Amino acid sequence: MLEAKLDQASILKKVVDAIKDLVQDCNFDCNDSGIALQAMDNSHVALVSMALKAESFQPYRCDRNIALGLNLTSLTKVLRAAQNEDMLTLRAEDAPDSLNLVFESKADDRISEYDLKLMDIDQEHLGIPETEYAATITLPSSEFRRICTDLMALSESVTIDASKDGVKFSCTGDIGNGAVTLRSHTNVDKPELNVDIELSEPVSLTFSLKYLVNFCKASALSHQVKICLSNEVPLLVEYALENQSHLRFYLAPKIGDDE
């Protein structure tokens, strides 16, 4: 039996909103440590990994490991019925065929309840090793989103160069080229605007902008985003949540294609 109560429905709403444009169906794996999700896009070049730790819920109870196979568009439809401030409770049997969602309004005594049919999804899980990345860039999520959308107007891929001078996002397209360079920067009043670059060796990698823009839909989850790069390794884009919970995206770099 699963019973997990979120104080704010907005967290789940935002997480699902961020994933639904990358993945169609996926399993929410529930165990005693929390709810986790891992799924790849159709092309298998991007991977999303979500972990909502048990501490994020109050209360959280999960007697057995359960896989909740959900279609994300269906889940979005139901979640739209919840207000951001509503309390959200997820309930499921041990061998469930549906997921029960209850939205409770704090202001009044309105309770709405939905049952969502589950599906069997055959998914392979990839083991993602802990990696020491050559470059780790932390920047405001809105800044990252702006860079990606701005550069997408010019090209379909971006080259990220991280060196001791800073990090440079550059692209070349049919109409011209463009580049955005960021340097480490600390804002005492507003720490969420900090830009922090940790570098062990210079890195230069190229990525599909369409995918990066897609990842940026998670910007609402967190003020800051962490971008981790190493040569010949997938890029990691991480949005940190409270209580060690996180939403991570991995994207394979473009290697050796000069179209």
Partner 1 sequence: MRSIKTLRSDASHADAFKVGPTLFAATTSQYTLAEATSRPPQLFVLPKTATAESRVVTLQNPRYARLTRYLVCPKSGIYEFTKIAAPSAVPRSWLIESAKGQRIVTEGENGSEATVVDFEAHVTRDADIFVATPMDPLFLVLPALATTTTKSEAPKRMFLTSDDHFDSLVDSADSHLSQLLQVGKTRALLEGRMAVICDTVEAGDETMFRLNEDKLMDELLTKAGRMAEKLPKSMEERFVTRALEAPVVYKRAPAIPTEGSSDGGSALQTPMTEKSESQASLSSVGTVDSEVSQASTAATSVDLTTEEPITAAMVASEQVLKLQRLQVAFNFIVSAYVSHTFGATLKAHFAKHKSTDFKPLEEYLTELAKLKVEVMATRAATENTRKRGLEEEDDERAEKRRRKEEEEKKKKIGVSKGVRDLKKVNTSGMKKLSDFFKKK
Q: Site residues (CB under 8 A) for partner 1?
A: 20-25, 40-47, 71-74, 76, 124-129, 156, 208, 210-211, 214, 217, 233-234, 250, 252-257, 259
Least distance from partner 1 to the Cβ atom of residue 175, Å: 17
Sorted by sequence, the CB contacts under 8 Å of residue 81 that are 6+ apart come out as 103, 112, 114
Burial state string for 221-252 with b = 16 or more CB within 10 A and e = fewer than 16 = bbbbbbbbbbeebbbbbbbbbeeebbbbbbbb
Least distance from partner 1 to the Cβ atom of residue 116, Å: 13
Question: Which CB sits closer to partner 1, 105 or 123?
Answer: 123
Least distance from partner 1 to the Cβ atom of residue 197, Å: 24
Question: Which CB sits closer to partner 1, 1 or 153?
Answer: 153
d(CA 225, CA 150): 18
Question: Which CB sits closer to partner 1, 195 or 234?
Answer: 234
Question: Which CB sits closer to partner 1, 69 or 166?
Answer: 69
Question: Which CB sits closer to partner 1, 1 or 128?
Answer: 128
Which bin fits 44, alpha (ψ -120 to 50), beta or left (φ > 0)? left
d(CA 201, CA 232): 13
Taking alpha carbons only, the member of 45, 91, 84 closest to residue 207 is 45
Q: 150 by DSSP, 3-state: which? A: helix
Structure tokens at 104: 């409770």
Least distance from partner 1 to the Cβ atom of residue 44, Å: 4
Least distance from partner 1 to the Cβ atom of residue 126, Å: 4
CB neighbourhood size of 211 (10 A): 22
Question: Which CB sits closer to partner 1, 106 or 125?
Answer: 125
Amino acid at 210: K
Least distance from partner 1 to the Cβ atom of residue 234, Å: 5
Helix (H) or strand (E) holding 211: helix 209-215
